[in-house]
Amino acid sequence: MSSRADRIQINKAVLGEGGQRLAERELGWNCGTMRKGMYEVESGIVCVDGFRLRGRKHSEDHLPNLLKDITTIVDVQSQADPQFRTTQLYTSMTAAEVRRELIAKKGYSQEELPTSETIATKLNMLGSFPKKVAEGQPQKSS
């Protein structure tokens, strides 16, 4: 493994004197990222960071039964595309109604449930789209 002085010499040889700062300024590259990349190239070791572990967790991580409960509530009200052009399910329930049903029937509290917007996203993820469901009309006799 090379020392810090050796790495600095390699950086200067590849990028020139002040090359990292110049690339940062002209190209918008991050100087720390360039140093990390140079180190990976020199050592052959990939530096793994915890980037994927950052940020908020999904609602289903906090409430493991949430998607199953949403599906059971929505399936009762859902119907398939009448022309069978898609596999999407259409429901007459809005996300706010689904949220109210989760509180009333499944025992969730107001505080622990995500917002209606998040529930709408989960409904779309599950393939159920809120749409006014057409009622069956009797055919005219001719």
pLDDT, tens digit, for every residue of 106-127?
999 999 999 999 999 998 888 7
Q: 96 Cβ partners below 8 Å, 6+ apart?
A: 116
Read off the pLDDT of each residue in 30-57 and give the average, rounded to a whole number: 82
* Domain boundaries defined on the chain: 4-53, 59-130
pLDDT at 81 over 60: yes
Q: What is the pLDDT of residue 135?
A: 59
Task: State how far Cα 32 lies from the chain centre.
Answer: 27
Q: What percent of the chain stands above pLDDT 90?
A: 19
Using one digit for the tens of pLDDT, what is the confidence trace for 3-15?
A: 655 655 555 566 6
Mean pLDDT, rounded, for 64-87: 81
d(CA 117, CA 115): 5
d(CA 78, CA 116): 18
Structure-token pair, residue 37: 């990349």
Distance CA 9, CA 3 (A): 10
What is the reported pTM?
0.54
> Average of pLDDT values for 77-98?
77
Q: Are 100 and 70 in contact (CB under 8 A)?
A: no
**Phi/psi at 62 (5° precision):** -80, -35
Q: Which residues pair with 110 in a beta bridge?
A: none
- Provide the pLDDT for residue 57: 85
- Report the Cα–Cα distance between both ends of the chain, in Å, rounded: 90
